[in-house]
Amino acid sequence: MEIFTRFNQKNIQDRQVDTLIGLSKGLAADGKVNQAEAEFLYSWLVQNQQVSLNPIIFNLLDKVGSMLEDGVLDNDESAELLTILRSISGEESIIGELSKTSSLPINQPLPSLVFNNSTFLFTGTCAFGTRKQCQEAIESLGGVNAKSVTKTLDYLILGTYVTDSWVHESFGRKIEKAMQYRDGGVPLAIITEEHWANEAQL
């Protein structure tokens, strides 16, 4: 009976992943993910996580749930979700390929970070966790989470999965604005998620 149960569980997980791949292809087909599509995906994940042990289901549920927590799927979240769905479906997938420093406007050399009372803003998809988890980590280190790129921002953190195609993504506007401020003499640093995690010893 135990062997049958394990076998049946594996079949359920395989079917769920196959269905998720199909859903991901459909939702990403037009090159954008809207509010209704994100809510539909979230509902499917909620229904299926109850009979699944697959970490893909749980991780995606946590990610989409965090995005919809405030009731609004903003442009950055939509772009991030599109990238994730493309990675799941295997179409135009770039997630998982680490950023090429040479093509990203990272501060060189990378600065030592001051966490206490400094302002931080994440953009793109992070390997550390959801946006909420990243923000909680900032607060635990004594930092402040910014809502947008302004002249008072200390650090813009580029998620690990921001690639050299960042100019064409919606979050590219944040990076461009940060570059303009930095180039204009504002003491704003653009850093990688990896550097932030190393400095924070996470």
pLDDT tens string, the chain, 202 residues long: the values are: 333 334 344 454 567 777 888 888 888 888 889 999 999 999 988 888 766 556 677 778 888 988 998 899 998 889 888 888 887 776 543 433 333 333 678 999 999 999 999 999 998 777 777 788 889 999 999 999 999 999 999 999 988 766 554 544 555 788 889 999 999 999 999 999 889 989 988 6
Residue 142 confidence (pLDDT): 96
Domain boundaries, the chain: 2-89, 101-200
- Neighbouring residues of 161: CB distance < 8 A, sequence distance ≥ 6: 83, 94, 95, 96, 97, 99, 124, 125, 126, 127
pLDDT recorded at residue 19: 83
CB 122 within 8 A of CB 194: no
Residue range 101-200, CATH number? 3.40.50.10190
- In angstroms, the CA 63 to CA 129 distance is 8
Closest CA to 197 of 115, 74, 117: 115
Residue (of 57, 58, 67) closest to 37 by Cα position: 67
Helix axis angle for 75-89 and 2-28, nearest 10°, is: 130
Give the pLDDT of residue 92: 44
Give the model's pLDDT for residue 89: 74
What is the per-residue pLDDT for 73? 92
CB hemisphere CA count around 172 (13 angstroms): 10
User: How high is the pLDDT of residue 80?
Assistant: 87
